[in-house]
Each structure stands twice: as C-alpha cells, then as structure tokens.
C-alpha cells in the first residue's frame, strides 16, 4: 500500500509502495520481415534463403510489476477487423485486437487498460496502483485519466526521451525478447521453410514472452532504473523526474 505519493520541498517526486502495486506498460513493435543471419554460397551458385514478406507490423503491449509478475501479452494486428486465426496457439491469457496499421492508438490502449490489464491486476478501493508509461499520445487522454481515477490507478507519464533509462521493460526485457524472437523465427524458417506472417507471429512471440519477461528480468529492470527500490538503480527516477528540470506528468 502507498505510504506517500507527493512532492518533497526539493521538488522531487517520491513514492513508496509494495512492489506488486507498481507496473510498467510498454509497446514493442514486431515486424514481419526476417532473414537468415548467415548465408554461405559459392561464387557461381548464390545461396538462397527463406525470407518473410515486408510491410507488416504487429504491436505487442507488455506489462509487468516490480515484484516480477508479467501480464500476458496483448497484440495489435494490422487490419480493419480482428481475425481470430491471428491468435492461434497463443499462450493462456493472451489477447489482441486490430488497427489499420497494426499500431497502438488511444482507442486500442483504452481497450487494453479497461479489458485486459484490469483482469490481471488487483484493483482495490483502499490502495492505489502505480503505472509507469512513456508519453506517447495514445497514453495521454482525458478519458484515460478519468477511468484511472475511478479505478484507483495512477498513470505516471515519464519524461520525454527517457524510455531507455527509466522504463524497466526497455532496460531489461525487450532486448532479450528481440533476440529470442529472432532466434525462434530463424529456426522456424530454416526447419520448415515457412514464412513469418501475422497468423504465426503470435505463437512465436508468446513462446518467448514468458522467458523475456521473467521474474528475474522484471525485477532487474525496476532495480536498474531505480523505480523499485527507489533511488537504488543506475538512473533513479527521483533524480530524473524533478519539478525544476523535466516536469513529469500524471494523467
């Protein structure tokens, strides 16, 4: 439970909470465009490689807590309407929707928060949940602020251009995710000659999501960014989010 969320005389933003009540939500774009990393062939006989098509992007919305608990992935597929085949062989709890380009927007993020996120996060009337996220325009809207207030959730928007320093998922989880995902994609294409499409990308992503967003990685991300425990990481949030330098926004 929060003991204090407020401003000190120095202008620093501080908070103290149980780690299971502090979350980070962040998007990760997955492109349907994979090539074999190493191709060997002779001068007279060029090597051939199985590649996937270009021009398709699927957005993965991930989340996890300072206690190391990851919320199942949420996918945004390109298209005007959701095709249930896109979620074939998804991991338990995973869900998704569709947008024209496969990108997240305010409507998609609202659906994620109100339908997916809250189904895995204990919302309580006697305590608050802190959610750290970047300042993407899909995250900053009055309708989201009102919903969050009604559900005792604080949406804390981090300062611009600090995701690589202050977002636990960026710092400790999405790097391993990309490496694992690339390895699985190359393995699939090499062994089956299958291309990566929006109909098997969910299966691949779900397979590595749990490994990349492991309890150890999540806790490491919050610790290295200084989000939890406070002021003990490489880039403590209390030192970065000051009123006098870069004003943080809470929506």
Residue 76: inside a domain, yes or no?
Answer: yes
**In this model, does residue 154 exceed pLDDT 60?**
yes
CATH number for the domain that contains residue 185? 3.30.420.10
Local confidence band at 244 (pLDDT 50, 70, 90 cut-offs) = very low
190 or 64, which is more confident: 64
b/e code 189-207 from CB counts within 10 Å (16+ = b) = beeeeebbebebbbbbbbe
Please identify which residue in the block is written with the tokens 């305010």. Answer: 106
pLDDT, tens digit, for every residue of 183-196?
Answer: 999 999 888 888 88
**In this model, does residue 131 exceed pLDDT 70?**
yes
Residue 216: inside a domain, yes or no?
Answer: yes
Distance CA 242, CA 248 (A): 7
Local confidence band at 246 (pLDDT 50, 70, 90 cut-offs) = very low
Residue 32 is predicted with a pLDDT of: 81
119 or 195, which is more confident: 119
Residue 100 is predicted with a pLDDT of: 93
Distance CA 118, CA 72 (A): 12
Residue 9: inside a domain, yes or no?
Answer: no
- Tally Cβ neighbours within 10 Å of residue 24: 29
Tokens of 240: 């970065």
Residue 18 is predicted with a pLDDT of: 86
Domain limits for position 65 = 21-31+49-250
End-to-end CA distance of the chain: 20
Residue 223: inside a domain, yes or no?
Answer: yes
**In this model, does residue 156 exceed pLDDT 80?**
yes
Local confidence band at 33 (pLDDT 50, 70, 90 cut-offs) = confident
As beta bridge partners, residue 59 has 29, 76
Residue 233 is predicted with a pLDDT of: 57
Residue 13 is predicted with a pLDDT of: 39
Distance CA 217, CA 83 (A): 32
Distance CA 5, CA 237 (A): 13
**In this model, does residue 117 exceed pLDDT 90?**
yes
Residue 127 is predicted with a pLDDT of: 84
| Pair 198, 86: CB distance under 8 Å | yes
What's the structural domain count of the chain?
A: 1
Residue 205: inside a domain, yes or no?
Answer: yes
* Preceding amide of 229 cis, omega within 30: yes
pTM of the predicted model as reported, rounded to 2 decimal places = 0.82
Residue 2: inside a domain, yes or no?
Answer: no
Distance CA 130, CA 152 (A): 9
Residue 42 is predicted with a pLDDT of: 52
Local confidence band at 122 (pLDDT 50, 70, 90 cut-offs) = confident
Residue 238 is predicted with a pLDDT of: 44
Residue 97: inside a domain, yes or no?
Answer: yes
């Amino acid at each position: 439970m929060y003991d204090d969320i407020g401003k000190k005389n120095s202008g620093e933003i501080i908070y103290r909470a149980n780690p299971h009540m502090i979350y980070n939500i962040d998007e990760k774009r997955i492109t349907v465009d994979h090539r074999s990393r190493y191709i060997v062939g002779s001068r007279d006989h060029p090597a051939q490689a199985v590649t996937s098509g270009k021009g398709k992007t699927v957005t993965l919305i991930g989340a996890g807590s300072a206690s190391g608990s990851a919320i199942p992935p949420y996918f945004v597929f390109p298209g005007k309407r959701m095709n249930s085949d896109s979620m074939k062989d998804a991991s338990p709890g995973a869900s998704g929707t569709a947008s024209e380009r496969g990108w997240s927007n305010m409507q998609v993020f609202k659906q994620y928060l109100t339908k997916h996120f809250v189904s895995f996060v204990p919302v309580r009337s006697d305590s608050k949940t802190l959610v750290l996220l970047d300042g993407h325009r899909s995250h900053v809207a009055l309708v989201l602020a009102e919903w969050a207030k009604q559900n005792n959730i604080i949406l804390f928007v981090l300062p611009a251009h600090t995701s690589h320093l202050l977002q636990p998922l960026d710092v400790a989880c999405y790097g391993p995710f990309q490496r694992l995902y690339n390895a699985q994609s190359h393995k699939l294409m090499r062994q089956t000659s299958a291309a990566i499409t929006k109909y098997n990308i969910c299966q691949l992503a779900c397979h590595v999501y749990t490994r990349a967003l492991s309890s150890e990685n999540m806790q490491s991300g919050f610790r290295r960014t200084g989000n939890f425990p406070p002021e003990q990481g490489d880039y403590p949030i209390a030192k970065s989010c000051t009123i006098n330098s870069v004003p943080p926004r809470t929506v």
